[in-house]
Amino acid sequence: MARKSIGTIIVGEDNSPNPSEFNFVLTKSEEEFQLEKGMYVIVPCDDGEIIATVSDVYKTNRYFSSPSAVRAYETSGKTLASIFPADRWEHIIAKAKPLGIITDLGIQRLLFPVSPGETVFIPESKVLQKFLGLEKTNGINLGKIEQHDVEVQLNLTRFLQKHAAILAISGAGKSYTVSVMLEELLSRPKKQGRIAMVLFDVHGEYKGLGDEESPFYKHIEIFPAAAIQFGTHALRARQFAIFEPQITSVQTRELSKILNKLFEEKTKKNETYTISDIVKELEADEHINQRSKEALIGWLYTLEETRLFGASEYPVLEKILEPGKLVIFDLSEFTSLKLKQMIVSYILYRIFDYRKKGKIPPTAIIMEESHQFCPEARLELAISRPIIETIAREGRKFFTSLVLISQRPVKMSTTALSQCNTHIIMKVLNPYDLDFIGRSSEGIDRATLNTITGLGVGEAVIVGNAVNHPIFVKVRKRKTTTMDTQTLEESAINFDT
């Protein structure tokens, strides 16, 4: 199929064409072709093929270029169009920004201007996929490039190995996009490489993924927060100390001695132990300073009251994390942020430890409301931040990936967010969040940043490691449902019935 030519490069008043910009006039009628801002175009030249994106579109007409002439004719009772063939002189002009040139040596930066008179075409799908770094098949299909019938299939390694972030205001489609991503990961056949998935569901939005009507329900397991139990015997003193950041180094050292003793004794008998057993050992130890002992015992009783600590772990993470399986931890029934952070901290420590030992498959951790679990705040308000930052820094070496989701990126840990090499950015309005995104997202320029406030629901821009250039995408329709959503009116009627 022959390429579709749409225009011709012209000389502009802004010293174009130049290596950074060129103008072209649309040679097709509006009925034949609708030129839109954001479209990709291609210009063949001697050295290869130049790919550019349309940065602006405007109309011009020489008959309407003089305000005084237009006013004179209009006030006389006659329109210009009734006297002159004005419609024949209306032209559509586009400004285009070159992104690079495809040569025999690969994709390179454009260092020379295109020539006036060159023909402008719409690129074929395969050319666009190659230039933008998209997969033709077998990728993570999030949707289609806006204005082009080209699927945005992201390479799994480029997308997730160096972590990703999904950022947007409430209602912009973050959870919907996550559902689409999970569908793609759950659909991957064994020969393409399957990873385990762990999702922390703060609001119970993903319960629908596990419904029997879902095509993936056999590969999804959901655990409510109240059922989660920490294996006390699996925790070392430094991990206990994370739950109580004010514990002193001396107290941590004393607790470590007790835990080592208990672990050795119980392991020989093939037994486990609980917080009550730790307290008994502390009370029986006469060598510990009384004040330290009282502080530790009081703190351990506080932990026991959370009902999160037991003799054994549930669920057993080593057994439930499997290739191609999604495990959802539903935290929606807990109101205490500290308890939710403790759950996230424990599970992530265990997952990362298992991955380093090769006991579980490569794993992607999807974190809703990341600003709650990894805030830029003092440690006692950010219990789960240390392990999230550790995985952000070191996870790629052990194929443990993070997907951080937030509507308030400015409140997130800069360490964690800066390690997310791919950003999927949907509508954002807060100027502080926009500024933060601009400073933390690689590959996003001011022009792209300015378009974020105007994105519609389900529209996103993808920047970073997963793509060669920023891509505007319309997220595809999902195959599953999530938690039923009701309007305020419907909820009130149902309650009153």
pLDDT tens for 277-316 read 999 999 988 888 888 889 999 999 999 999 999 999 999 9
- Residue 151 confidence (pLDDT): 95
pTM of the predicted model as reported, rounded to 2 decimal places: 0.89
At residue 327, the 3 state secondary structure works out as strand
- Segment 60-81, tens digit of pLDDT: 887 667 677 667 666 766 666 6
Cα–Cα dist 267/257, whole Å: 15
Which residue has 């922390």 as its token pair? 200
pLDDT reported for residue 85 = 64
Q: What is the pLDDT of residue 473?
A: 96
Contact 90, 47 (CB under 8 A): no
How far is 83 from 81, CA to CA, in rounded Å?
Answer: 6
Determine the residue type at 351: I
Residue 305 CB neighbour total at 10 angstroms: 10
Q: For 482, which DSSP code? A: -
The stretches of 269-336 forming alpha helices (DSSP H) are 275-284, 290-304, 317-320
CA atoms within 13 Å, Cβ hemisphere of 129: 17
15 SS3 class: coil
pLDDT, tens digit, for every residue of 400-425?
A: 999 999 999 999 999 999 999 999 99
Question: For the packed helices 290-304 and 275-284, what is the interaxial angle rounded to 10 degrees?
Answer: 170
Q: What is the pLDDT of residue 146?
A: 84
In this predicted structure, what is the pLDDT of residue 63?
65
**pLDDT value of position 76:** 67
Look-up of token digits 């793609």: 184
Ordered structural domains, the chain, with CATH: 4-123 (no CATH), 151-226+321-491 (3.40.50.300), 231-309 (no CATH)
Phi and psi (nearest 5°) for 138? 70, 10
Which of these, 176, 197, 173, lies nearest to 185 by C-alpha position?
Answer: 197
N-to-C CA span, the chain: 61
Neighbours of 282 (CB within 10 A): 19
Element (H, E) at 405: strand 400-406
What per-residue confidence (pLDDT) applies to 70? 66
pLDDT at residue 195, rounded to an integer: 97
pLDDT tens digit at each of 497 positions of the chain: 568 899 999 998 888 999 999 999 999 877 788 899 999 999 999 889 999 999 999 998 876 676 776 676 667 666 666 666 667 778 899 999 999 999 988 899 999 999 999 999 999 999 999 999 999 989 999 999 988 989 999 999 999 999 999 999 988 899 999 999 999 999 999 999 999 999 999 998 888 888 888 889 899 999 999 999 999 988 999 889 889 878 888 999 999 999 999 988 888 888 889 999 999 999 988 888 888 889 999 999 999 999 999 999 999 999 999 999 999 999 999 999 999 999 999 999 999 999 999 999 999 999 999 999 999 888 778 899 999 999 999 999 999 999 999 999 999 999 999 999 999 999 999 989 988 888 888 778 787 888 898 899 999 999 999 999 999 999 999 887 755 567 788 889 888 87
Q: For residue 253, what are the CA distances in angstroms to 237, 285, 308, 350?
A: 8, 14, 23, 22
Omega within 30 of 0 (cis) for the link into 17: yes
Which long-range contacts link 114-117 to residues 24+ away (Cβ below 8 Å)? 114/9, 114/17, 114/22, 114/43, 114/45, 114/50, 115/9, 115/17, 115/45, 116/9, 116/10, 116/11, 116/17, 117/8, 117/9
Q: What is the pLDDT of residue 380?
A: 77
Cis preceding linkage at 315, omega within 30: yes
Handedness of CA 452, 459, 99, 469 (dihedral sign): positive
